[in-house]
Every structure is written in structure tokens, then in C-alpha cells.
Chain A
């Protein structure tokens, strides 16, 4: 994992260096003294060899110092930390909703394969897969946010509440609900399809036939044999799902005006806030690696055939 991270950091660093501008681009005004700027560049190490610059950067990163945001003028770590919490809560709610929708539907479709129930679930899963997030997001926002007024249309919390009161927390959840529902409704395809085909496969497995030959009720055959074994591939994704929580969704957060990681990433790109971009890309890469590690650990817990020595 460490070598992968180092390679990733090197790539990010090189790409960042290729982009135009330097840390002082945003600070220069027509009144700035050109010589003074050159001095500042010298002090900041702008003319050092690239490997010295890389070493300085990576040592800082290892200590949690990503530098300062060019646009916000605050340490990148603080900026990300604040957004990460927002995203984490939103993603957590989204994922919980997603599994609440997808698992029962996947099980139903697999169990009643080729019936009308199955066909409508499969139809839903493909239609939802084909709808772009921003289209449904805008429709929901317009319909439930503006027309019906059931949900707030932006922000994370109503400003009238005091922090850490019950009403405050409710207000937070209330603000997250519409984006979370949008995400969950559109994100179910993978889980439904996987679960459905796993259940269909499992049904014809020899061990299921053994279980049936024992004369145990069919619902027990499903709950103890088919369902459990069919969840394995879902569990294999679960590590990525957990770490993916921090990544946030660019579309969802931008449309619903929710200040999270996705929105921050989007803004930092359009305002060329390099230190934030590099930090975020490195963070996303780290999370992906962590996700695969987590998945391995989860698999070794749920599947007795896999043991990590």
C-alpha cells in the first residue's frame, strides 16, 4: 500500500507542477513589486530542483500539512476536515437508504425470478441506471424542493438552530434527505443486479439441494443458505463503499448546494486551487487503497475459506 501511495503522490506532484501558475498567482496585483515576488518565490523554494520540492511537499503531507488553500487562505487540512464531516454524514445516510432499497429488491427479484415482480425490479434498476444523476437531482429539487416545498433546497442546516440540540440534528438530517434519496434511488443497480444473479445462481447450487433434502422450510433455506452466500460479493464491495463515503458526489453536492467534498473538489478545479486539488486527489487515492484493504479484511471475516495470515 505504501509503494502505491508514493507512486500516486509522485504522479500528482508532477501533474500539479505542469499546471500553470504558482502559489503567488492569486496574490499578485498591479501594484505588486516584481522583485519582491521573485524573492518570495525564492524563499518558497520555487526554483529548487523538482525532487527537493517533492521531498518538501511529501514530508509535509506525511505530517498532515497540505499547505494553504490559494482561494480560502486557510490550511487545506482544515478546509477538507470541515467538508469531510458534511460529506460523511450525507454519504452515510445515502448508503443506508441505498441498501434499504436495493437488498430487499435484489432478494425479491432473485427469489421470484422471471415473474412480474422480478421483471419490474429489473426494469427499475436499468431505468435508474440510465438516468443521469443531475437530471433526477434537478427534477427532485424542482418538484419536492420548489413546487411542493417539502424539502430545503440548499445548505446543511437551518441557521436558526443552536448547535448540538435535537432540533439542530433533525434539521441536518432534513437537509440531507432529498440529496440522499436521489443518490439512493439511482445507485441501486449494481447491488440489485449482483444480488439477483447471485441468488439465482445459489438456488441451483448443490448445497442448496442438500439443504432442501433435509426437509427444512423453504424460507429457512433462503435465509440460512441462499441469502447468506449471495451477500458475499456485496460484502466484497463494502470496503470501497465505506471509504467511498468520504469522496462525496460532485453532482449531488453541486445540485443540492451541499458544502461537501465533491463540491469542494469541483470549486477547487474551477478556481485552480492547486494545493486543494492535489490534497484531494491524494486523499481519494488513499481512500481507494484503504477500501480494497478493508474489503479484504471484511471478506476474511465473512468467508471462512479466506484467511489472511
Chain B
């Protein structure tokens, strides 16, 4: 792998939500970096903090109800400590954001063209005519067949896939260095998913932007990502290049996730599941291995008291030591 410069570096990030005057960290000590020309996937189940991580980066949280601590370093400044005005120069211009649900992410009362043009008004010095031209080019770039017509339409007149393309057009309108895509394909059906993923990879190649792709879909990860970070209960529990992660998963959680994907050729008819539930934010144990309650057959002594990330091979990190002893429950006591 070519060593390229780091675009964005997150150091020990804690993002907490306030519940009755106590802050509970949904993102609990995440450190990760995004390199240029890279698609970094962040995977995890609902509630693991991956979307919170995404929105923390551009400070979209309500300041009265959340607390962001730690470092989000971009171009020599810490985004976590910037004020609204400074953040507005980053949002849209340097970091573009793509949201999950294209049905609700566009303003229903505004024409498509206007919504794309909006960020150009504040982040570019283009004239009105140039902006309109740019909007049409953007729509064309994201694969919309008739840009002139679409620009004058309202969101409800477009299909889900088209709307997601419009949202991507908004995100890339100012040629950002980083694109954060928060579950961009979750609300779409499978054929459209593939098209949108292709589009993202294409745009990434064209613009050289770094993409942070948040998803719970391992199929999506395998298709487009360069590097993967697996999150569980607010922490990154495994991080590796994509081939490495799929061929040599280490952490019990990653292995369980991969194991729970239904296989077409499998003779085993029962779907593999991970027992237990993701603990709620307030009840989350803040010490010890957070995954241990869900693999109760692994003895306590196999876990670390304060799990840290271990580098098992270059670029492949795993949290806690339990991965060394982990076996699936169905495999009985035989250690692997």
C-alpha cells in the first residue's frame, strides 16, 4: 500500500449525550485517521456510535445536549474546538456530508437546483450564471440524465436513488477534500445501492477525496472500502485493511458479524446470531472488555482489564486479548 498523507486525524474523541445532567459518551475514545484517496469504512450495528462519530466531525450536534472532547485534526486546526462560524467554513467546503435517508434529507419546499446552489453561494465566488451552470454539471456528474429538468423539480418528484444522487451532488458541490457518507445506501434497494456505491468510488477516483463510509452492511464494505474500522459500544475494536479483515478477522465481534452473514451455499439453515443486545448508552459498562457480556463462555481471565488496541500485523489492530482465546459457542470447549 502506498503511504499517503493523513487528511484527517481523530485522537481520543469522546462525544457524550446529556441525559439528566450526566453526559454519556456514545463515542468513547476513538482514534483513527483518514488518508488521501482512501475509502475508510466504519462498521458496526445500530447504536454503536458510528453516526455520532460522523456528525461529531463537522460539529452538527446540539451544543446544549452533547459534549465533544478530544481532537479532530484537519489542516492544523482542531475541529472539535472551533466555533460555529469557523465550522461553517469547513462544512460543505472542505468536508461534504451524505446522509442516510434521501427521502427526508432534502427540503420538500425547495427546488433541487436551489438546494445544490445554496452551498455554492457561501463557498464560491461564482456568479449566478456560473452557479447555475455548475449545478447542471454536478447533476450530470452524479448521473442524472436530464439536469435542466431535475434542477427545476421538487424532491418528491424524484425517486429515492435520484434523490441520493442529488444529495451526493450537494456533498461534492464545492470539491471537498473529505466526504463523510453516513449509511448512504441503507434506504435504497439493492440495484440502486450498487449504482450509488459505484458512483461514490468513481467520484473518489476523480476528485481524490478521502471518504469516510459509515455502514452496517459488510457487503458494502467489501465492495468499496480500502480500510475498515469495526466499532462496538463506542469504541473501535478492530481496524485493518479490507482484505485483511475479511480473510483474517480477529476480534470475536468481527468474527461473529462475519459469521452471521447468511451464506447462499451454506447447508446450515439456522441463521447465526450474536447472543445478547447492545447495551444502552446509560447502562454501558465503562471498564473491561465491552463485548464480554455477549460471549459469556469465554472466561473473564481471557479479557484484559483495560483493553487496548494490539497490532497483530502491520495496519491490523485488535482491542482486548480475548481474540486469542475466542471460539464460537457451538464449537464447544475446543480452543482454536
Contacts and interface: CB of A to CB of B under 8 A. Distances in A.
Contact of A206 (B89, B104, B109, B119): B104
B105 interface: yes
What band does the interface of chain A fall in when counting residues whose beta carbon is under 8 Å from B?
Answer: 20 to 34
B211 to A, nearest CB: 15
Contact of A216 (B88, B104, B106, B154): B88
Interface stretch (B90-98, B280-288, B289-297): B90-98
A36 interface: no
Contacts of A229: 107-109
A213 B107 contact: no
Contacts, number: 79
A212 B60 contact: yes
B101 interface: yes
A217 B107 contact: no
Nearest to B84: A218
A119 interface: no
A89 B90 CA distance: 52
A160 interface: no
A172 interface: no
B153 to A, nearest CB: 9
Contacts of B97: 210, 213
A138 interface: no
B325 interface: no
B167 A210 contact: yes
B4 to A, nearest CB: 26
B99 A212 contact: no
A214 B119 contact: yes
A194 B107 CA distance: 20
Contacts of B104: 205-207
* Interface-centre pick from A206, A215, A224, A232 (highest chain B CB count, 10 A): A215
Contact of A215 (B55, B87, B109, B115): B87
A229 B123 CA distance: 25
Contact of A217 (B106, B109, B122, B154): B122
Contacts of B108: 207, 229, 303-305
A229 B109 CA distance: 7
B109 A210 contact: no
Interface in A215-244: 215-218, 224-225, 228-229, 232
Contacts of B101: 206
Interface string B167-200: 1001100000000000000000000000000000
B18 interface: no
B122 A210 contact: no
B156 interface: yes
Given A206-B104, A207-B105, A215 B154 contact: no
A211 interface: yes
Nearest to B87: A215
Contacts of A211: 107, 118
Nearest to B116: A214
B156 A305 contact: yes
19 contacts: A206-B101, A207-B108, A210-B105, A210-B107, A210-B167, A211-B107, A213-B92, A213-B96, A213-B171, A215-B89, A215-B119, A216-B119, A217-B88, A225-B110, A229-B109, A303-B109, A305-B108, A305-B154, A305-B156
Interface of B: 55, 58, 60, 84-85, 87-93, 96-97, 99, 101, 104-110, 115, 118-119, 121-123, 154, 156, 167, 170-171
The 9 nearest A-B residue pairs measured at CB:
A215-B91, A215-B92, A214-B119, A213-B97, A206-B104, A214-B92, A207-B107, A304-B154, A215-B88
Interface of A: 205-207, 209-218, 224-225, 228-229, 232, 302-305
Given A213-B91, A216-B118, A305-B156, 10 more contacts: A206-B101, A207-B108, A209-B60, A209-B99, A210-B99, A210-B106, A215-B119, A224-B110, A228-B109, A304-B154
